[in-house]
């Protein structure tokens, strides 16, 4: 008899069902050359958050939560078990210099997209400030970029009061000329989370704004179809930015800026799955989760599902 048959490496002594592939098994560490069609990368920056945030821990928490789920969608009868997600690791942040950290994000995304233009990149924040450099890096390759942002907030704050924070990424994208205001669509903006000044700023710059009232009164799929139709006439690629605080506080306790009257998780998941079906949708970020204040990793689990729904849409349409 072989000795120690039941002794495993620490953390590996877990039950395994031979017929179940876990979503986390799709992750393959990047070997520096070869890449599959899907890539994941962490941007662990949260020193730029207005509210105290440990969102720098979210890339690890979200990856870990992928191990709680399988690769099979019964709703669509789609199995992602053969799909590979190349895990590019995390970008090293500067300990004190936020602008330097943002430069590192922009440079890394620019370089990765240049080398692997066919890869669908999923970027894990971090707070929402990472979307400015991430979209900037992405735009260097794709040129005309549209953004669909799920968020309770406009994130169009002025930069004079606090510099480049999680409240300013879309203002920076517009004012740097990286994207046009008319190529930004915000979905899920809600009451008492913004000031009129920033709503007016958005409208003045041609930003399309769907409030939570629109989300409640209309079919989310209709809003998504309308948004993609509007953008695909004018841009070469669409980038989705998912600020998890778009969800009601009941669904996203791990976000610093929680509140009532938000989206339910099923609507967000349906929206992301549908977006995945469009070839023009090339990248997505997921931001604003602070695992240190989350409850049973509820918010990171939902983020893991956002990834799976996006890939389900991609697989359904035959893009991966």
Ligand X SMILES: N=CN[C@@H](CCC(=O)O)C(=O)O
- Of 12-20, 46-54, 59-67, 210-218, which part binds ligand X (CB under 6 A)? 46-54
- What's the closest the beta carbon of residue 175 comes to ligand X, in angstroms? 16
Pick the closer one to ligand X by CB: 89 or 163: 163
Determine the Cα angle at 35 with ends 73 and 286, to 5°: 55
What is residue 148's three-state secondary structure?
strand
Binding test (CB under 6 A) with ligand X, winner from 110, 243, 277, 297? 243
Give the single-character DSSP code of 217.
H
Footprint of ligand X on residues 274-313 (CB under 6 A)?
288
151 binds Mn ion per the rule CB under 5 A: yes
Check whether 236 is labelled as a binding-site residue.
no
Spell out the residues 6+ positions from residue 264 whose beta carbon is closer than 8 angstroms to its own. 247, 248, 251
> For the purposes of burial, counting CB atoms within 10 Å of the CB of 27, is it exposed (0-12), middle (13-18) or buried (19 or more)?
middle
155 binds ligand X per the rule CB under 6 A: yes
Q: Assess contact for 34 and 116: CB atoms under 8 A.
A: no
- Of 35-43, 101-109, 152-160, 246-254, which part binds ligand X (CB under 6 A)? 152-160
217 CA to centre of own chain: 25
Pick the closer one to Mn ion by CB: 212 or 311: 212
Spell out the residues 6+ positions from residue 304 whose beta carbon is closer than 8 angstroms to its own. 23, 62, 65, 66, 68, 69
- What's the closest the beta carbon of residue 94 comes to ligand X, in angstroms? 20
Q: Assess contact for 69 and 308: CB atoms under 8 A.
A: yes
How far is the C-alpha of 39 from the C-alpha of 154, rounded, in Å?
Answer: 27
Helices and strands (DSSP H and E) totals, the chain: 9, 11
Contact partner, 298, from Mn ion, ligand X, none, Cβ < 5-8 Å per class: none
- What's the closest the beta carbon of residue 160 comes to ligand X, in angstroms? 14
270 binds Mn ion per the rule CB under 5 A: no
- Of 48-56, 62-70, 170-178, 217-225, which part binds ligand X (CB under 6 A)? 48-56
Q: Assess contact for 106 and 136: CB atoms under 8 A.
A: yes
Binding test (CB under 5 A) with Mn ion, winner from 243, 277, 290, 297? 243
Count residues near ligand X (CB under 6 A): 13
The residue of the chain with the least Cβ separation from ligand X equals 167
Q: Assess contact for 70 and 11: CB atoms under 8 A.
A: no
Q: Which residues are annotated as a binding site for Mn(2+)?
A: 128, 151, 153, 155, 243, 245
Residues binding ligand X (CB under 6 A): 49-51, 128, 153, 155, 157, 166-167, 243, 256-257, 288
Residue numbers at the binding site for Mn ion (CB under 5 A)? 128, 151-153, 155, 243, 245
């Amino acid at each position: 008899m072989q000795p120690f048959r039941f002794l495993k490496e620490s953390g590996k002594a877990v039950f395994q069902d031979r017929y179940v592939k876990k979503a986390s098994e799709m992750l393959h560490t990047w070997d520096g050359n070869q890449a599959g069609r899907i890539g994941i990368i962490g941007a662990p920056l949260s020193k730029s958050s207005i509210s105290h945030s440990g969102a720098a821990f979210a890339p690890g928490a979200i990856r870990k939560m992928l191990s709680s789920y399988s690769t099979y969608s019964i709703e669509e009868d789609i199995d992602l078990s053969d799909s590979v997600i190349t895990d590019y690791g995390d970008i090293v942040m500067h300990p004190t210099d936020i602008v330097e950290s943002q430069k590192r994000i922009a440079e890394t995304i620019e370089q990765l997209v240049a080398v692997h233009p066919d890869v669908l990149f999923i970027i894990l924040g971090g707070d929402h400030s990472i979307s400015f450099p991430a979209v900037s890096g992405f735009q260097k390759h794709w040129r005309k970029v549209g953004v669909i942002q799920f968020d309770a907030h406009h994130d169009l704050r002025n930069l004079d009061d606090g510099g480049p924070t999680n409240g300013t990424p879309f203002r920076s994208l517009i004012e740097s000329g990286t994207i046009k205001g008319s190529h930004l669509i915000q979905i899920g903006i809600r009451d008492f989370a913004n000031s009129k000044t920033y709503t007016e700023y958005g409208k003045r710059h041609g930003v399309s704004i769907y409030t939570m009232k629109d989300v409640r009164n209309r079919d989310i799929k209709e809003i998504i179809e309308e948004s993609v139709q509007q953008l695909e006439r004018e841009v070469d690629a669409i980038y989705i930015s998912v600020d998890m605080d778009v969800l009601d506080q009941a669904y996203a306790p791990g976000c610093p800026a929680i509140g009532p009257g938000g989206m339910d998780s099923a609507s967000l998941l349906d929206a992301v799955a549908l977006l995945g079906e469009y070839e023009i949708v090339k990248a997505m970020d997921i931001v604003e989760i602070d695992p240190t204040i989350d409850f049973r990793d509820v918010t990171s689990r939902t983020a893991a599902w956002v990834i799976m729904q996006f890939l389900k849409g991609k697989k359904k349409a035959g893009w991966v």
